[in-house]
């Protein structure tokens, strides 16, 4: 065991302060220390994306980030994207278009998709497939995930247009 | 997969980095995005008692194109490269290559410095840097020095960088002519079965300059002077491409792995190189 | 009254019953990150377990030194076989009648085998302690080839050799060699030989179905919590069969079954990986009993790929005979099955090679013979059904390759060869040569629909042109057309011949209707993404006339759910779905009596109509199910007990036999070996369709797993028994980028023996998809003389095929 560090994080808008070993992986910090169990552990080698969170505006695989690296960071997980009374458009779209089955990849998938649509609000199917290629799903074959994301994009654009 | 314990250092300047490196020697290691190093630490295949995180060190970021020279700070990520309009026009081969590295999440973290410095023959940027004849900027206790990318790689994970030096930037002349980076891989996130970086200059239908390098076909990136020479002075016709491919085959030395046996890799290398030359020439 | 103005159609719609595309009720929690998977469980004082594993595939253990690990702050215990021996738990029974070491007892038989179990305060300390356990190994000769195993002097399992050197019978009869496990024979050996010997045309081929792994995104794990005050053990885990796990834990631990509560929480995909019982479960239970606090064990991805439940690894040698016109006359198949170091196959007891004897496929083959030899090697144990019923993917792959090889032998179109050999509609129920009785099918209709949908003749014409162009040097890409017509056998199974560890393979449903007209139903199955909470409510809605939205489905808690054998082998809909329908009918029967009483008519004078009972001939006189539910709880009805509940245990009379017709069109780059899937058409006939949206989702997912297996996914070993594909860098799971869009289609041929006619669909696309992708690759090279090339068809193997055919000049 090494010396513990004083860590400060902002997670889903809430300030968090604690002592942790620098080697603690961010995914474990979120899941075990803070009880934020939406992000999951799938592969542990940064291939599957189940642990995806948004860290300082980037989609990041939290299994491959030490908590020490994240000290001072602003983090959003699936729990911070929407609330039961105010779901994110993607959360609704995934349900509407059957974009999930076992649900294990879903939090990472939706969190990544939210960033993708932020950067590219009007993606083609090919761009969605390429932009989501860091997230593995074993159940759906992706067809309905792609459909869900494209539908969410259309919905978000329609809302934006109506507002303008 | 849990890494062994380590002491964490996050210096604010290069002096701080060098101080830790000097103090702990072999026991200290710098880390940029960490997406090569952290998996190795988690598998306990890399032992790093002192980890120096470069994220807060001033002066390691930034993309600049000035006076015909492109300079990328070591902490510039693949995502930054893909996002840069300046680079897209000055050196589009960088964007083409970056898009073929890993996956979106990894590209937000993966840096140019980490990719070229760690000496992994599977990384794509080292091959590209050979092609661009880039210069690597290193800072150590004795100050700054530069090493040509083409002189940097000695063998797998062994480079010209001393243990107490840090790679701070890469720079290269704005590339001229047509370009191509073509990579055969098994899936998103994989290293290359074979990949090629090519820059060609065409004047009046004749190739006047050619630079060719390949990735993951030896224990270092392979820059083949002979392959480039085979194209210069030609109209990059079939015979010239054959000669270039032949020359490259003389310079690569692939190893068998899950991607296939040596014989296949040599064949894939020749096919990928041909396609890359054709693509670069079509853009020249 | 409002009901009087609503149409019957709108009342049907309001139920959300069978046949509608009901949105999933599970999704609210999953999309908000509120699923509850085993690693989300956090209990007070919970410890973590982690394994010391063997780096060697075959070695004797000379000593284990745990002192340094025990000295580490935060380490509570380090268990070895010596600690488990007094409890008799250093070995455990496998599902296949063999036994398996829980912790290495003197030797190891595969790389990654469990050697010691560290218990520590958190997973970081546990991982550090694992590094500190010193094991002294003496390496032994390694056997990774099953054919070599059967010739080798090296004895892998000394425990199965008598002191005098003789070989006692195994669980499935006599053993021929010390590394031999069983021989299983089905069919008529001599008659088949005669048919083959006298046939006009015989095609012969060896087809290897490589070793792979189900690799669900969530790995296996558990939390064991022994409450010493009350003497109760609670075990949460990734169990596809929670009740069977409870019985197994009781049998091996001696804790009475009523004192064990097994809970399968949300499961992040199973695909067969989570059927078996693993050393991690046993060690965690022991550790919790010893320490008196909860212990969690979660395997990492490498451990998952290397140790828990591989799939396939079948060497299948076949002969198929036909007349010159292409009418198949006989089939022979011999399998050499590599089971690894222990026989831990998850098959019904009487079927050591699962339902491999479905290998006559969709064809009317009068005479057939199958023999399977199981073999020990220095590889991980397992042999689970990866997204298929027991060994059905192997069987279908075998016959669909043999059909293609026969077509080549006959110089005949493979679609036409299938067509003239399909079992005809009027032959069902069809008694197959290897014993099964197919329940229903209409293969010609499905096939013709598929051929028309893809314009099969047009595809062949395009392919012929492509071959011309290739030969003329105009292209370097070949075109492959993959065909498959599969027949599955799912829904295990009839208790008369299907059991696991003596437990009959029935399943169950218990329903309680609440006074206000909503309900809870509990089942013996457990969803791992199939959407049971959605679809079983739909079955019930139609059966009992209450809206699906008013019905809660609960599974996975052995304290509350009725006993059932779990979810795998596409058995949930055929077995538990039937139990659900029948329990619903019991509810309805009682409701009918209540309705008659309320309407003051004889029981026979009311009839069920969507959501109510109406008086025959007087539809304005009715009682809704909601009203009936209330009456069941608030009125004293003569001769009828209060309440409205039912339970049904369903022992299926037969398996169900889903089928389908698939076509894949791909382009293959002969120089790089890269494959581009241009089109994939999948027609599935799973009988009655409960929720078309979910069926389509299952098909997409199964096809994608099939694509992975056919085109690159494997568990590969080197000659030292080292696993070469232990991370997701090398173990191929495709991303959205590598996967095409699929076209789905269907026909409906209900199962005649199933209460609602449903057959199950979750595994069809995998079973049919693998041969379809593989046939496409093989077909691309048919014009150049290829008969068969083994999977996985990754880049270099495709390149090698092209190279051997001289296509690289």
Task: List the domain range (segments joined by +) for residue B20.
Answer: 7-53
Q: What is the mean pLDDT of residues B180-188?
A: 98
Give the count of domains, chain B: 3
| Distance in Å, alpha carbon of C807 to nearest chain B alpha carbon | 12
B58 found inside a domain: no
Q: Which of A23, A45, A69 lies closest to B39 in CB terms? A: A45
Find the CATH number of the domain harbouring B119. Answer: 3.30.465.10
Interface mutation target, options C712, C729, C807, chain B, most CBs of B under 10 Å: C729
> What does the alpha-carbon distance between residue C759 and residue C340 come to, in Å, rounded to a whole number?
33
> What does the alpha-carbon distance between residue C245 and residue C251 come to, in Å, rounded to a whole number?
10
Confidence of residue C606 (pLDDT cuts 50, 70, 90): very high
C641 labelled catalytic: no
**What's CA A14's distance to the chain center, in Å?**
17
Residues of A in contact with C703 (CB under 8 A): 141
Q: Please tell me whether residue C99 adopts helix, strand or coil conformation.
A: strand
Count Cβ atoms below 10 Å from residue B225 Cβ, excluding itself: 13
Question: What is the per-residue pLDDT across A26-62, written as a single tens digit (0 to 9) for each?
Answer: 999 999 999 999 999 999 999 999 999 999 999 999 9
Q: What is the mean pLDDT of residues C191-215?
A: 98
| Bridge partners (DSSP) listed for residue C77 | C119
Q: Which of A28, A91, A104 lies closest to C217 in CB terms? A: A104
**Residue length of chain A:** 164
Count Cβ atoms below 10 Å from residue C334 Cβ, excluding itself: 16
Q: Is any Cβ of chain A less than 8 angstroms from the Cβ of C127? A: no
Domain ranges of chain C: 2-35+507-650, 38-142+219-267+275-307, 392-492+655-804
Residues 6+ apart with CB under 8 A from A83: none
B186 and B150, same structural domain? no
Q: b vs e for B29-61, b when ≥16 Cβ sit within 10 Å of the residue's Cβ? A: bbbbbbbbbbbbbbbeeeebebbbbbbebeebb
> What does the alpha-carbon distance between residue C779 and residue C793 come to, in Å, rounded to a whole number?
13
So what CATH class is C2-35+507-650? alpha beta
| Distance in Å, alpha carbon of B157 to nearest chain A alpha carbon | 20
**Over B147-202, what HEC string results?**
EEHHHHEEECCEECCCCCCEEEEEEEECCCCEEEEEEECCCCCCCCCEEEEEEEEE
> What does the alpha-carbon distance between residue C254 and residue C171 come to, in Å, rounded to a whole number?
23
Q: Is any Cβ of chain A less than 8 angstroms from the Cβ of C705? A: yes
Question: What is the per-residue pLDDT across C254-285, written as a single tens digit (0 to 9) for each?
Answer: 999 999 999 999 999 999 999 989 999 999 99
Give the model's pLDDT for residue C570. Answer: 84
Q: C209 preceded by cis ω (within 30°)? A: no
> Residue C197: CA atoms inside 13 Å, Cβ hemisphere, count?
6
B1 found inside a domain: no
* H-run or E-run covering A19: strand A14-20
Give the model's pLDDT for residue C5. Answer: 57
Interface mutation target, options A78, A141, A152, chain C, most CBs of C under 10 Å: A141
Token pair listed for C239: 């169990």
Look at the alpha carbons of C354, C360, C361, C366 in this order and tell me if their dihedral is positive or negative. negative
pLDDT value at C1 more than 80 = no
Would you tell me which residues 90-119 of chain A have a C-beta closer than 8 angstroms to some C-beta of chain B? 112, 116
Confidence of residue C4 (pLDDT cuts 50, 70, 90): low
Give the model's pLDDT for residue C501. Answer: 86
Residues 6+ apart with CB under 8 A from A85: none
Question: What is the per-residue pLDDT across B114-123, written as a single tens digit (0 to 9) for each?
Answer: 999 999 999 9
Q: What is the mean pLDDT of residues C32-57?
A: 98
A121 and A64, same structural domain? no
Give the model's pLDDT for residue C147. Answer: 98
> What does the alpha-carbon distance between residue C791 and residue C798 come to, in Å, rounded to a whole number?
9
B2 found inside a domain: no
Task: List the domain range (segments joined by +) for residue A10.
Answer: 5-80
Find the CATH number of the domain harbouring A124. Answer: 1.10.150.120
Whole-number average pLDDT of chain C? 96
> What does the alpha-carbon distance between residue B234 and residue C147 come to, in Å, rounded to a whole number?
56
Count Cβ atoms below 10 Å from residue C32 Cβ, excluding itself: 21
Token pair listed for B66: 């000035």
Question: What is the per-residue pLDDT across C146-174, written as a single tens digit (0 to 9) for each?
Answer: 999 999 999 999 999 999 999 999 999 99
Q: b vs e for A117-127, b when ≥16 Cβ sit within 10 Å of the residue's Cβ? A: beeeeebeeee
pLDDT value at C3 more than 60 = no
A43 and A17, same structural domain? yes
A117 and A51, same structural domain? no
C240 labelled catalytic: yes
> What does the alpha-carbon distance between residue A161 and residue A157 come to, in Å, rounded to a whole number?
6
A100 and A37, same structural domain? no
Is residue C121 within 8 A of residue C129, CB to CB? The reply is no
Is residue B156 within 8 A of residue B219, CB to CB? The reply is yes
Candidates B229, A126, A148, A101; CA nearest to C535 is A101
Q: Tell me, what DSSP letter sits at residue C387?
A: T
Find the CATH number of the domain harbouring B264. Answer: 3.30.390.50
Test A65 with B34 for CB contact under 8 angstroms: yes
pLDDT value at C741 more than 60 = yes
Q: Is any Cβ of chain B less than 8 angstroms from the Cβ of A31? A: no
> What does the alpha-carbon distance between residue C592 and residue C602 come to, in Å, rounded to a whole number?
10
> What does the alpha-carbon distance between residue C51 and residue C429 come to, in Å, rounded to a whole number?
51
CATH of domain C392-492+655-804: 3.30.365.10
Q: What is the mean pLDDT of residues B227-255?
A: 98
Residues of A in contact with B103 (CB under 8 A): 47, 49, 133-134
Q: Which of B1, B43, B188 lies closest to C735 in CB terms? A: B188
Residue B18: left (phi > 0), alpha (psi -120 to 50), or beta?
Answer: alpha
Residues 6+ apart with CB under 8 A from C254: none
Return phi, psi of residue A104, to 5°. -70, -35
Give the model's pLDDT for residue C6. Answer: 81
pLDDT value at A1 more than 90 = no
Confidence of residue C85 (pLDDT cuts 50, 70, 90): very high
Count Cβ atoms below 10 Å from residue A67 Cβ, excluding itself: 25
Q: Is any Cβ of chain B less than 8 angstroms from the Cβ of A4? A: no
Residues of chain C with pLDDT > 70, as a percent, come to: 99
Q: Please tell me whether residue C110 adopts helix, strand or coil conformation.
A: coil
pLDDT value at C106 more than 90 = yes
Residues 6+ apart with CB under 8 A from B284: B177, B178, B200, B201, B202, B207
Sort strands B206-215 and C430-431 into parallel, antiparallel or unpaired.
unpaired
**What's CA C699's distance to the chain center, in Å?**
14
Q: Which of B8, B79, B189 lies closest to A5 in CB terms? A: B8
A52 and A22, same structural domain? yes
A74 and A16, same structural domain? yes
Count Cβ atoms below 10 Å from residue B240 Cβ, excluding itself: 19
List chains touching A (3+ CB pairs under 8 A): B, C
DSSP string, C176-237: SSTTEEEEEEEE-HHHHHHHHHT-SEEEEEEEEEEEE----SS--EEEEEEETTTTEEEEEE
pLDDT value at C89 more than 60 = yes
Test A65 with B38 for CB contact under 8 angstroms: yes
Domain boundary among A80, A107, A135: A80
Give the count of domains, chain A: 2
Question: What is the per-residue pLDDT across C391-433, written as a single tens digit (0 to 9) for each?
Answer: 999 999 999 999 999 999 999 999 999 999 999 999 999 999 9
Find the CATH number of the domain harbouring A11. Answer: 3.10.20.30
| Distance in Å, alpha carbon of A133 to nearest chain C alpha carbon | 5
C388 labelled catalytic: yes
A103 and A56, same structural domain? no
> Looking at this predicted complex, what is its ipTM?
0.98
Residues of B in contact with C803 (CB under 8 A): 267
Is residue C712 within 8 A of residue C793, CB to CB? The reply is yes
Give the model's pLDDT for residue C750. Answer: 98
Does C38-142+219-267+275-307 match C2-35+507-650 at the fold level? no
Token pair listed for C371: 């023999």
Residues of A in contact with B52 (CB under 8 A): none
- Work out the angle at residue C720's Cα, subtended by the Cα atoms of residues C718 and C726, and round it to the nearest 5 degrees: 50
> What does the alpha-carbon distance between residue C478 and residue C471 come to, in Å, rounded to a whole number?
10
A94 and A75, same structural domain? no
Question: What is the per-residue pLDDT across C325-363, written as a single tens digit (0 to 9) for each?
Answer: 999 999 999 999 999 999 999 899 999 999 999 999 999
B74 and B49, same structural domain? no
Give the model's pLDDT for residue A73. Answer: 98
Residues of C in contact with B101 (CB under 8 A): none
| Distance in Å, alpha carbon of C480 to nearest chain B alpha carbon | 20
Candidates C502, C504, C503; CA nearest to C171 is C502
Q: Which of C33, C271, C742 lies closest to A79 in CB terms? A: C33
Q: Which of A104, A139, A143 lies closest to C37 in CB terms? A: A104
Test C733 with A136 for CB contact under 8 angstroms: yes
Would you tell me which residues 683-702 of chain C have a C-beta closer than 8 angstroms to some C-beta of chain A? 693-694, 696-702
Confidence of residue A164 (pLDDT cuts 50, 70, 90): confident
Tell me if the domain spanning C38-142+219-267+275-307 has CATH number 3.90.1170.50: yes
């Amino acid at each position: 065991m090494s010396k513990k560090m004083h860590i400060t994080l902002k997670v889903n808008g809430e300030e968090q302060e604690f002592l942790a070993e620098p080697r603690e992986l961010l995914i474990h910090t979120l899941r075990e220390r803070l009880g934020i169990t939406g992000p999951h552990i799938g592969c542990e080698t940064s291939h599957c994306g189940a642990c995806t969170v948004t860290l300082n505006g980037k989609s990041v695989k939290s299994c491959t980030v030490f908590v020490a690296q994240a000290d001072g960071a602003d983090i959003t997980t699936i729990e911070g994207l929407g609330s039961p009374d105010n779901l994110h458009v993607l959360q609704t779209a995934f349900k509407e278009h059957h974009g999930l089955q076992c649900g294990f990849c879903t939090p990472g998938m939706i969190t990544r998709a939210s960033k993708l649509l932020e950067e590219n609000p009007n993606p083609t199917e090919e761009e969605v497939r390429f932009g989501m290629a860091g997230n593995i799903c074993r159940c759906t074959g992706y067809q309905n995930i792609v459909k869900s994301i494209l539908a969410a994009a259309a919905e978000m654009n329609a809302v934006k247009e109506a507002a303008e | 997969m849990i890494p062994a314990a380590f002491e964490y250092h996050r210096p604010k300047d290069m002096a701080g980095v060098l101080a830790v490196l000097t103090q702990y020697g072999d026991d200290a290691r710098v880390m940029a995005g960490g997406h090569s190093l952290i998996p190795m630490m988690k598998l306990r295949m890399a032992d790093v008692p002192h980890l120096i995180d470069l994220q807060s060190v001033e002066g390691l970021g930034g993309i600049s194109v000035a006076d015909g020279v492109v300079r990328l700070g070591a902490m510039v990520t693949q995502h930054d490269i893909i996002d840069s309009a300046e680079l897209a026009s000055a050196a589009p081969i960088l964007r083409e290559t970056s898009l073929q590295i890993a996956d979106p999440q990894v590209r937000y973290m993966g840096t140019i410095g980490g990719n070229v410095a760690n000496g992994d023959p599977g990384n794509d940027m080292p091959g590209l840097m050979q092609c661009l004849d880039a210069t690597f900027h290193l800072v150590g206790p004795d100050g700054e020095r530069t090493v040509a990318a083409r002189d940097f790689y000695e063998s797998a994970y062994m480079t010209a960088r001393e243990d107490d030096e840090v790679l701070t930037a890469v720079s290269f002349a704005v590339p001229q002519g047509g370009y191509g980076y073509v990579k055969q891989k098994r899936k998103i996130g994989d290293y290359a079965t074979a990949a090629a970086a090519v820059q060609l200059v065409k004047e009046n239908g004749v190739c006047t300059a050619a630079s060719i390098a390949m990735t993951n076909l030896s224990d270092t990136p392979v820059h083949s002077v002979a392959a480039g020479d085979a194209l210069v002075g030609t109209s990059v016709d079939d015979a010239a491409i054959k000669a270039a491919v032949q020359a490259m085959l003389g310079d690569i030395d692939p190893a068998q792995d899950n991607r296939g046996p040596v014989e296949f890799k040599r064949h894939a290398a020749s096919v990928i190189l041909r396609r890359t030359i054709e693509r670069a020439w079509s853009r020249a | 009254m409002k009901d009087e103005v609503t149409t019957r159609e709108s009342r049907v719609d309001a139920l959300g019953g069978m046949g509608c595309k009901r949105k999933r009720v599970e999704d609210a929690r999953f999309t908000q990150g509120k699923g509850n998977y085993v690693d989300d469980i956090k209990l007070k004082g919970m410890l973590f377990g982690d394994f010391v594993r063997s780096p060697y595939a075959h070695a004797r253990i000379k000593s284990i030194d745990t002192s340094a690990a025990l000295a580490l702050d935060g380490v509570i215990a380090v268990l070895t076989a010596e600690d488990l021996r007094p409890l008799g738990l250093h070995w455990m029974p496998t599902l296949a009648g063999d036994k398996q070491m829980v912790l290495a007892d003197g030797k190891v038989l595969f790389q990654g085998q469990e050697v010691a179990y560290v218990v520590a305060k958190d997973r970081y300390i546990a991982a550090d302690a694992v590094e500190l356990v010193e094991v002294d190994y003496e390496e032994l000769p390694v056997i990774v080839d099953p054919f070599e195993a059967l010739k080798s002097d090296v004895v892998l399992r000394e425990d199965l050799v008598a002191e005098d050197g003789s070989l006692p019978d195994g669980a499935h009869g006599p053993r021929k060699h010390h590394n031999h496990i069983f021989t299983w024979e089905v069919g008529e050996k001599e008659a088949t030989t005669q048919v083959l010997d006298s046939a006009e045309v015989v095609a012969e081929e060896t087809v290897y179905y490589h070793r792979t792994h189900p690799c669900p995104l969530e790995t296996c794990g558990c939390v064991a919590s022994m409450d010493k005050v009350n003497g109760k053990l609670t075990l949460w885990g990734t169990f596809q069969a929670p009740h069977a796990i409870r019985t197994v834990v009781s049998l091996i631990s001696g804790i009475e079954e009523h004192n064990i509560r097994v809970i399968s929480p949300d499961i992040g995909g199973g695909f067969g990986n989570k059927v078996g019982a693993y050393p991690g479960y046993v060690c965690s239970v022991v550790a919790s009993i010893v320490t008196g606090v909860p212990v969690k064990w979660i395997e990492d991805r490498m451990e998952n790929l290397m140790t828990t439940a591989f799939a396939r690894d079948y060497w299948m040698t076949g002969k198929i005979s036909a007349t010159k016109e292409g009418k198949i006359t006989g089939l022979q198949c011999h399998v050499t099955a590599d089971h690894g170091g222990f026989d831990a196959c998850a098959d019904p007891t009487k079927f050591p090679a699962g339902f491999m004897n479905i290998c006559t496929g969709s064809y009317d083959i009068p005479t057939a013979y199958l023999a399977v030899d199981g073999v020990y090697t220095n590889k991980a144990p397992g042999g689970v059904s990866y997204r298929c019923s027991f060994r059905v993917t192997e069987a279908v792959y075998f016959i669909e390759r043999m059909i293609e090889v026969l077509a080549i032998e006959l110089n005949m179109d493979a679609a036409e060869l299938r067509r003239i050999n399909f079992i005809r509609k009027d032959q069902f129920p069809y008694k197959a040569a290897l014993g099964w009785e197919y329940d229903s099918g209409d293969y010609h209709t499905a096939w013709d629909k598929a051929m028309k949908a893809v314009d099969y003749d047009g595809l062949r014409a395009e392919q012929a042109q492509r071959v011309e162009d290739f030969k003329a040097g105009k292209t370097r890409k070949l075109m492959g057309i993959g065909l498959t017509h599969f027949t599955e056998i799912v829904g295990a199974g009839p208790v008369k011949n299907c059991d696991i560890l003596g437990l009959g393979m029935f399943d169950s449903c218990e329903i309680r209707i609440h006074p206000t007209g909503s309900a809870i139903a509990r089942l013996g199955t457990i969803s791992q993404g199939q959407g049971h909470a959605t679809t079983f409510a739909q079955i019930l809605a139609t059966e009992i006339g209450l809206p699906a939205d008013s019905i809660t489905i609960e599974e996975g808690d052995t304290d509350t759910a009725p006993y059932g054998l779990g979810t795998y082998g596409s058995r949930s809909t055929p077995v538990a779905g039937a139990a659900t329908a029948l329990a619903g009918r019991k509810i309805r029967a009682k409701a009918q009596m209540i309705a008659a009483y309320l309407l003051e008519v004889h029981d026979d004078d009311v009839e069920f109509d969507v959501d109510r009972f109406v008086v025959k001939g007087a539809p304005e006189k009715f009682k809704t199910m909601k009203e009936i539910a209330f009456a069941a709880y608030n009125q004293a009805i003569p001769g009828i007990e209060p309440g409205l509940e039912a339970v049904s245990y369903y022992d299926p009379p037969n398996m169900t036999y889903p089928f389908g017709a698939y076509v894949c069109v791909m382009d293959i780059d002969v120089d790089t070996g890269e494959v581009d899937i241009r089109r994939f058409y999948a027609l599935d006939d799973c009988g009655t369709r409960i929720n078309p949206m979910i069926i389509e989702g299952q098909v997409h997912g199964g096809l994608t797993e099939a694509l992975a297996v056919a085109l690159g996914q494997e568990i590969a070993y080197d000659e030292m028994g080292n696993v070469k594909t232990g991370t997701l860098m090398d173990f191929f799971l495709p991303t959205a980028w590598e996967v095409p869009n699929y076209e789905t289609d269907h026909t409906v041929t209900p199962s005649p023996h199933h209460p609602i006619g449903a057959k199950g669909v979750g595994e069809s696309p995998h079973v049919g998809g693998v041969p379809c992708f593989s046939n496409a690759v093989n077909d691309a090279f048919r014009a150049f003389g290829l008969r068969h090339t083994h999977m996985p068809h990754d880049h270099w193997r495709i390149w090698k095929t092209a190279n051997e055919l001289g296509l690289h000049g």
